[in-house]
């Protein structure tokens, strides 16, 4: 395989443990070249996100990949985090060897994203696993940007009004609804969305989780450590919940976006329709709206992931920790 045939990725993250796994999945894939990683607030502050990305790159011997600091807050609101992955986003465990922030690029994430994509028009796949603030700012600064993107894969939003943030909203969209709206309306490139309900359909059993993270590797050890806090909370929470619409287990949400970006036939079924984001509701602010009957008469349509190849997913996950 020549370098030209590799999938060229820019990944926008709010790492976050599941972003960390998603990054390891991309870094572990032989057919992928990561051109840059852009950081956004989300699971934790953007400064923590930057540090976390550097820590992941260090574990993967990939500190040569440029990392860019981006938005520290959503367009309108104060940033909110649910500390799902701990206060620092990676389980609040000490890391004495963590790289310094001076390893970050000086360039801001938004002009960096614009520059990289403009240098390789039509060749870059953008993967977004964070609030969409950086992507929204990029298209406002360069309205022609979406035309130069090969594909956009994202984890975010919901398709059946189930929420993990508010009653009807998913975290990445609810964290910056205006940015999500802007991206869904202005990114006219081929777009594939892993929604909250989609990732809930593919919860992995704790048996698989144990097997997966018990590999004898530094990466597996790292993941076990940074995920200990969340796994413990998740098991506790599930015992209380009585109205779950998903099977209890491990949900590597952001990894579905990466897996779809790097494996051509990973997604086996989609719904193709126009989508939008509700901005004004009392209960539904941040909810993704599917226009399955074309009532909004929008031109741009996206592919909502409905089914995927679980076995391939497990192989990707296992390889990512090798």
Binding site for a copy of itself (CB under 8 A): 71-73, 75-76, 108, 110-111, 133, 136-137, 140-141, 143, 159-163, 166-168, 178, 181-182, 185, 241, 243-245, 271-273, 276, 278-285, 287, 289-296
> Minimum distance between the CB of residue 318 and a copy of itself, rounded to whole angstroms?
32
* Pairwise CA distance, residues 23 & 15, whole Å: 9
Taking the least distance from each CB to a copy of itself, the nearer of 92 and 291 is 291
Active site residue 95: no
Q: Is 22 within 8 Å of 129 (Cβ atoms)?
A: yes
Tell me the closest approach of the beta carbon of residue 308 to a copy of itself, in angstroms: 19
C-alpha of 43 from chain center? 11
The residue (of 80 and 322) whose beta carbon lies closer to a copy of itself is: 80
SS3 of 120-179: CCCCEEEEECCCCHHHHHHHHHCCCHHHHEEEEEEECCCCCCCCCCECCECHHHHCCHHH
For residue 273, the minimal CB distance to a copy of itself (Å) is 6
Of 80 and 283, which has the nearer Cβ to a copy of itself? 283
Residue number with CB closer to a copy of itself (165 or 262): 165
Cα 68 to Cα 310: distance, rounded to the nearest angstrom: 32
In the structure encoding, which two tokens stand for residue 292, read together? Answer: 């399955």
How do strand 302-308 and strand 267-277 relate by DSSP bridges?
A: antiparallel
- 3-class DSSP assignment, residue 225: helix
Q: Is 68 exposed, middle or buried (0-12, 13-18, 19+ CB in 10 A)?
A: buried
Distance between CA atoms of 296 and 188, rounded to whole angstroms? 16
Contact status, residue 76 vs residue 133, Cβ threshold 8 Å: no
Residue 57 or 175 with smaller CB distance to a copy of itself: 175
> Which CB sits closer to a copy of itself, 58 or 105?
105
Question: CB 221 → a copy of itself: shortest distance, Å?
Answer: 33
* Ordered alpha helix ranges (H), 68-132: 109-119
Task: State the first-to-last Cα distance of the chain, in angstroms, to the nearest integer.
Answer: 21
- Residue 184 CA to residue 134 CA, distance in Å, equals 13
* Residues in contact with 78: Cβ distance below 8 Å, sequence separation at least 6, in sequence order: none
Q: At its nearest, how many Å lie between a copy of itself and the CB of residue 122?
A: 22
Q: Which of 14, 19, 88, 176 is catalytic?
A: 14
Nearest approach, Cβ of 66 to a copy of itself (angstroms)?
A: 18
- Hey, which residues are catalytic here? 14
């Amino acid at each position: 395989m020549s370098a030209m045939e590799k999938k060229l990725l820019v990944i926008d993250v709010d790492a976050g443990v599941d972003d960390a796994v998603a990054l390891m999945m991309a870094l572990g894939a032989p057919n992928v070249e990561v051109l840059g990683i852009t950081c956004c607030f989300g699971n934790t502050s953007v400064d923590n996100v930057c540090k976390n990305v550097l820590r992941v790159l260090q574990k993967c011997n990939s500190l040569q990949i440029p990392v860019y600091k981006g938005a520290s807050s959503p367009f309108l609101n104060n940033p909110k985090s649910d500390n799902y992955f701990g206060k620092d986003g990676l389980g609040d465990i000490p890391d004495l060897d963590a790289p310094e922030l001076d390893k970050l690029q000086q360039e801001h994430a938004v002009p960096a994203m614009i520059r990289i994509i403009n240098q390789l028009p039509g060749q870059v796949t953008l993967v977004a696993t964070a609030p969409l603030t950086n992507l929204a700012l990029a298209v406002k600064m360069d309205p022609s940007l979406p035309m130069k993107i090969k594909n956009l894969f994202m984890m975010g939003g919901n398709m059946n009004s189930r929420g993990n943030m508010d009653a009807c909203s998913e975290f990445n969209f609810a964290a910056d609804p205006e940015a999500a709206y802007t991206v869904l309306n202005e990114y006219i490139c081929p777009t594939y969305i892993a929604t909250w309900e989609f990732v809930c359909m593919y919860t992995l059993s704790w048996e698989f989780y144990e097997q997966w993270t018990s590999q004898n590797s530094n990466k597996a050890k790292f993941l076990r450590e940074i995920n200990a806090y969340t796994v413990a909370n998740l098991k506790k929470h599930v015992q209380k919940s009585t109205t779950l619409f998903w099977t209890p287990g491990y949900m590597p949400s952001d990894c579905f976006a990466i897996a779809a970006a790097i494996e051509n036939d990973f997604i086996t079924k989609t719904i193709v329709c126009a989508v939008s984001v509700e901005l004004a509701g009392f209960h539904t602010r941040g909810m993704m709206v599917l226009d399955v009957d074309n009532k909004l008469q929008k031109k741009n349509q996206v592919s909502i992931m409905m089914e995927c190849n679980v076995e391939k997913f497990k192989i990707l996950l296992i390889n990512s920790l090798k």
